[in-house]
Structure 1
């Protein structure tokens, strides 16, 4: 049985965030007491699940083809703010992006997608992670579809979170959460569960 990695990206009230999270329990208490902001039909949270961490590793490989420091936390453990090891060796990595940082996050996301549209071969050339067929990347980049749960969305092509369509719906959806947070003047929490 493959290990399933999960991410959760969601908007929270900036004023509710404590100065730090000394323990995972402190973060879990915060998460359960605050919850994600909801704003009409706007996408305010995204859950990502991917077998064996494929989408996380694919994102990391894509980010290595350029200079995207504001979104490095999506694939690089050293770029997250908090990292907690659980009782059974599981790891929770947390990054909180406040409103003043969001413009750069959005700019890096948009530049990454723009670069891939111009040069889709970068996505085809991600080493052992490559599971794409000809045309998969271009078709996935042409879409503008977003989803709160791409892994379980019947409108997302592929399975087990291992397709170009899944990867780019996942990334576009996280970008959409950041855009909505910026418009609301609120913060974004990104959590990676390994």
Structure 2
């Protein structure tokens, strides 16, 4: 993986939301803002300024750059808390800030787990858990990095790598709620791409 272009941690979340969205961003350099992405940017501006502080046995680092060379992933953690143990070692706890509230899918958790995989390689420690802070509910949501989540994270990294290596953008699959909330709906045009060729041809003939 070390000779390949790294996959950004935030893009794992895009893949789990929609593989086509990931490909449009990663392969075709397409991006657009909407209300939800703008709110997310504002929330992250408050924490994405490189700095650190220490209180008691906890050292807090903001905007920490992370990487796992073996897996070929890199990115920035909003916050990493380093908890000093009795033996003097520090156990990092990644914290990711998100707008809204906890979601039914696991995209946010996978992004956070990928941060943990980076911290584990960087510091040669096991990171057992992290936290997601949601702007709407204003509290932390604890995430345990168990085997199931770690496996899902590794599978997602491999799936993203496959799209990058094949340079194939997945076809559109229209889901009203998901697509209508996507900032790339006007670039993706899922309704148009989901129509069959015969329906598309009939529409073109009608226009003519």
The bucket for the TM-score relative to the shorter chain is under 0.3
How high is the TM-score relative to the length of structure 1?
Answer: 0.27
Greater per-residue strand proportion: 2
Highest RCO, 1 vs 2 (Cα 8 Å, sep ≥ 6): 1
TM-score (norm 2): 0.26
